[in-house]
Structure 1
Amino acid sequence: MKTALESPTVPAVQFLDVMKNYGNVVALNDIRLSVGRGEFFTLLGPSGSGKTTLLNMISGMITPTSGQILIDGQDVTRVPPRERGLGMVFQNYALMPHMTVFDNVAFPLRMRKVNRHDIERRVMAALKMVRLTSFAERKPKELSGGQQQRVAIARCLVYEPRLVLMDEPLGALDKKLRIQLQFEIKKIHEELGVTIMYVTHDQEEAMAMSDRICVMNHARIEQVGTPRDLYFRPSNEFVAEFLGESNIITGTVEKITDSVACVQLPDGWRVSCAATENEARIGSPVKIMVRPESLRVTTFDQQSGIGMRGTIEDLVFVGQAVRYVISSGALRLTSVNNSGYGTPTFARGDEVWADWSYDNSIAIQ
């Protein structure tokens, strides 16, 4: 019979009704969350949302006011950090400057009294994984920021922790290096199959790396889902606007047919969006979310009847795309057109027709 520790059906991490208060300040509010084994799971949110507090609770550095934390089915709510068997990677690397790269990576093994032969083998394997075998005898000050962070990752993984926690590990690096290390960390995750819980406030980083994302705000969980679900099917306006750029359009529901709502806007135009009767009610106000890349812009004589008339207020060249800002009454909409190597189809002042496919939009709270 498999124990809880061995069962693949037991979540790697669970939060059960977790609360954290500092006096009258609520740092975490009624957190219920489950992270699957082998998952790359990201906690995403603005500063002060509670994401780092949540990560520190898993590590044992913060104790919840109430509720339970389970790792591999075991209640670790009051278990000291050293007994949890976790690995952690910080933004500031936390390397020991007087030690070589080899000795930094070997340090957790020596603390665990691993024999000398196994230390040599495991350290070199870890350095190979992060492509730093030729740097084993260097000191941290002789490495770049990206190389130092790879050493920190190797040190974290060398003792094979059951769960790896990463607290904004790429925050101190420039954009190009961050993107490079994102792919490296994801590749390591896929090779090892280890569960990773990752904290960031960078939406693009979270979208590029994660199996699932937990969006947090004001000490609460707003939504949990895959990057695609969160981007195209956000549950509310905060998630829609935090994860990329969005157009939020307010109107009144006229009718709902086959999960498609017809919505009248204040200036009389009619648009459509994907919505069930649970998400929108006839006669009630509703907010529609449309991503800029889903907003079509055509000449006014190509109007379909479902959409709105507008005027090109501004346009910006962004590589192979052109970003249009369209005014339609009190509305300001953004559309990204990827055709023609960034050659604009319209000019400022042009009258246009803006619309979208209903299945590229959604009713949100």
Structure 2
Amino acid sequence: MNRSLNINKNLIFFGIPILFISMLALLAKSSFFEIHPNRLSIGITIDLVLTIPVIYLVLIRKTSIPKTTVVPVMIVGMLIGSIILPEENQYYLELFKTWILPIVELSLVSYVIYNVSKAVKRYKSNKNEKTDFFTTLKTTCYGMLPKMAVIPVVTEISVFYYGFVHWKKRELDENEFSYHKESGTITLLVAIIFIIAIETFVLHILLAKWSVIAAWILTWVSIYSGVQLFGFLRSMYKRPIVINNGKLFLRYGIMNETIIDMDNIDSIELSSQDIELNKETRKLSFLGDLESHNVIIRLKAENILTGLYGTKRKYRNLVLHVDKNAEFKNVLDHALQQRTEP
């Protein structure tokens, strides 16, 4: 019964905007539009990028659907307008793309950051609990954005935050462990960024002889890739491995992470011997065999390893590098022993 009610509500929330869009599409292809193209193109543009999003916002105002989903509705309207309106009648649509849409997007990002900052302050009010920006950002965005948009938005904001905003040194507690100091990963990522910079410069010069536009496209893509890698690199300093409240939080920057319940741990082995990676045995590092390991954690039941952009992989055994692996094993063994004691 509840499921049928939810289906009916979704039909109303999304069906009405779709109905209006369909009517506008028919109008744009009608003979009446050919008689009054200028006036009707203004009206159709306003309806697609303003009226329909407002109607949608009114429909969802008392529901759990995030109000920020009105922005995708607005963008869909803009894209449909680009398709159904003749190119010579898209003047006002182009004005919207140039001036209004960037303001809307900037406002949305500012709104997300504002809510994240409030969430961070709430976490910090508890002095016994350290704040993890990435986790806080995900939690906040899931309450504000469509689920499909959360991980891409969170990743982009986190790359900028860890790469260029959060440079304050993070002191580790007794239950926290680093994993980047002795693994060689930082050196490898710095080398990759350096190679990207050199190749971008050389290829830009060569490609510019053929096409200046193609050269600049390649350059900006390379710069974006370099910024992404730099943000990934910096996030490793700020997201340590944590043992807390009966759970083991394993993180590899913002690239990979998993949460293991202590009761699910079968054994912890200190080993740097080669191990075959397969569907049951995964590496915490996204670099795979390029990075060494010194700890193997075997579980009683399958768990999920979450990667970049929300990719999920099952595993039974997890291979990782911990800088102070012996100390890590001792703390983890002690925590496991406490849970088994009556």
TM-score normalized with structure 2 length: 0.28
Q: Which has the higher helix share?
A: 2
Instruction: Tell which has more relative contact order, 1 or 2 (C-alpha 8 A, sep 6+).
Output: 1
Q: Which has the higher strand share?
A: 1
